[in-house]
């Protein structure tokens, strides 16, 4: 336990030290509407913060297909517990996250791979604190042949485009790689050592994460003063249920700040447990259905449905655009699919899975 406390203190100090740089913005990161299904992208402190031993999550988002070439994003993450039986009231979580994003006619793409580790400590019967660190690399790329420059347009009144004209401009490079580092803290209330997410009563979760804390160089022109700005994520969610009801209400909120750009998303999911897992025969498999909506300020309304069956959870959401862009998008934003696997079957432990809005 002393070893674990020292590790948690070290991680916390690292988190505070690396948060010093300023927060100017030169690029904004990808985002998923089902943010609770992207725990390692959301907060490194969520590494290993789940009921079970092994978790794998994947997702795909297709956005703005009604306007032009769509923005397509794919991610895959996996995390697990280690040393859970070695330390009293504490354990470690380790994980891997990979995502790929391609956007627009220029095929601007981002690929990133990160390893993460989090220390978890149960404090009393109800509180669970975790501190996580994440590190890896990212690559940014662009299709230079798809670019057009002002010098390629006829300067006369016709404005004729001549692809063979001298460019007069050029990129220093069409791809570059950078190191990346993140840190986060996550607190759970209503969880115990034996049941990380209990099926009844009130639960609450809140966390803060700092991404791109080193603000790595980020420029196709190889400019030393251009960097990827730090991103701050604050998120919270809760779950309410009674002992005699299979219905759970799960509100959640997230705020993302990256330089001058920000995003706030909030809403509620309703989860109904269709049937419980058989405790003895295993013939009856636990299942639950969830539906709800979230609102992204000044941008979109998101409708979501999710089905959980034993170890598998499948989520589908759609962003209905309500911003000024709706005049050309006809309100069509993007569709998103997520798939989660947890082993062993989490229904077996408490009769209820952790729910759609919990990491």
DSSP 98-113: EEEEEETTTTEEEEEE
Rounded to 5 degrees, what are φ and ψ at 80? Answer: -155, 165
Confidence at residue 18, expressed as pLDDT on a 0 to 100 scale: 39
Lowest mean pLDDT among 38-42, 82-86, 228-232, 313-317: 82-86
**Between residues 299 and 14, the one the model is more confident about:** 299
How much of the chain, in percent, has pLDDT values that exceed 70?
A: 67
- Residue 52 CB partners (closer than 8 Å, separation 6+): 342, 343, 344, 346
User: Rounded mean pLDDT of 255-275?
Assistant: 93
User: Rounded mean pLDDT of 160-179?
Assistant: 65
pLDDT at 206 over 50: yes
Confidence at residue 163, expressed as pLDDT on a 0 to 100 scale: 57
User: Rounded mean pLDDT of 164-168?
Assistant: 55
Confidence at residue 354, expressed as pLDDT on a 0 to 100 scale: 47
Lowest mean pLDDT among 106-115, 310-319, 349-358: 349-358
pLDDT classification of 177: cutoffs 50, 70, 90: confident
Q: Is 200:276 a contact under the CB 8 Å cutoff? A: no
What would the two tokens of residue 333 be? 């934003």
Q: Which residues are paired to 184 by β-bridges?
A: 132, 209
User: Rounded mean pLDDT of 256-275?
Assistant: 92
Confidence at residue 210, expressed as pLDDT on a 0 to 100 scale: 97
User: Rounded mean pLDDT of 284-295?
Assistant: 90
For residue 322, give the H/E element and its range: none
Confidence at residue 100, expressed as pLDDT on a 0 to 100 scale: 93
Query: How does 78-87 read in b/e, with b if 16+ C-beta sit within 10 Å?
Result: bbbbeeeeeb
Confidence at residue 11, expressed as pLDDT on a 0 to 100 scale: 47
Q: Is 105:126 a contact under the CB 8 Å cutoff? A: no
Average pLDDT, the chain: 79
**Is 10 strand, coil or helix?**
helix
Taken in order 286, 92, 124, 37, the sign of the CA dihedral is: negative
pLDDT at 116 over 70: yes
Confidence at residue 191, expressed as pLDDT on a 0 to 100 scale: 55
pLDDT classification of 24: cutoffs 50, 70, 90: very low
pLDDT classification of 27: cutoffs 50, 70, 90: very low
Q: How far apart are CA 316 and CA 355, in angstroms?
A: 15
In eight-state DSSP terms, residue 48 is T
Which CATH architecture fits 2-138+178-350?
Beta Barrel (2.40)
pLDDT at 34 over 70: yes
- For Cα atoms 144, 72, 139, give the angle at the middle one, nearest 5 degrees: 50
pLDDT at 167 over 60: no
Confidence at residue 197, expressed as pLDDT on a 0 to 100 scale: 41
């Amino acid at each position: 336990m002393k070893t674990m406390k020292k590790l948690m203190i070290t991680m916390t100090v690292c988190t505070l030290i690396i948060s010093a740089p300023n927060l100017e913005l030169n690029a904004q990161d990808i985002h998923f509407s089902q943010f609770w299904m992207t725990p390692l992208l959301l907060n490194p402190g969520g590494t290993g913060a789940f009921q079970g031993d092994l978790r794998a999550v994947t997702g795909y988002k297709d956005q703005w297909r009604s306007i032009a070439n769509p923005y397509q994003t794919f991610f895959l993450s996996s995390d697990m517990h280690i040393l859970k039986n070695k330390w009293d009231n504490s354990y470690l979580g380790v994980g891997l996250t990979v995502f790929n994003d391609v956007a627009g006619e220029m095929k601007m793409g981002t690929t990133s791979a990160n390893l993460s580790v989090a220390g978890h400590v149960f404090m009393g019967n109800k509180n669970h604190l975790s501190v996580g660190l994440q590190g890896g690399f990212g690559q940014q790329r662009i299709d230079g042949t798809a670019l057009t420059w002002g010098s390629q347009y006829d300067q006369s009144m016709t404005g004729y485009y001549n692809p063979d004209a001298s460019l007069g401009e050029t990129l220093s490079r069409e791809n570059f790689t950078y190191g990346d580092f993140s840190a986060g803290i996550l607190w759970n209330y209503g969880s115990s050592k034996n049941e990380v997410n209990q099926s009844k009563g009130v639960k609450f979760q809140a966390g803060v994460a700092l991404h791109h804390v080193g603000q790595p160089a980020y420029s196709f022109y190889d400019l030393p003063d251009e960097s990827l700005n730090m991103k701050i994520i604050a998120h919270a969610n809760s779950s309410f249920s009674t002992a005699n009801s299979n219905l759970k209400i799960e509100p959640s909120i997230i705020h993302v700040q990256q330089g001058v750009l920000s995003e706030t998303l909030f809403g509620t999911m309703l989860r109904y447990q269709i049937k419980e897992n058989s405790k003895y025969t295993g013939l009856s498999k636990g299942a639950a259905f969830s539906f709800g909506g979230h609102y992204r300020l000044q941008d979109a309304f998101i409708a979501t449905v999710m089905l959980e069956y034993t170890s598998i959870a499948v989520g589908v959401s759609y962003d209905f655009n309500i911003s000024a862009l709706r005049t050309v998008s006809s309100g069509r934003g993007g569709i998103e699919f997520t798939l989660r696997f947890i082993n062993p079957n989490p229904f077996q432990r408490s009769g209820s899975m952790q729910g759609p809005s919990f990491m």
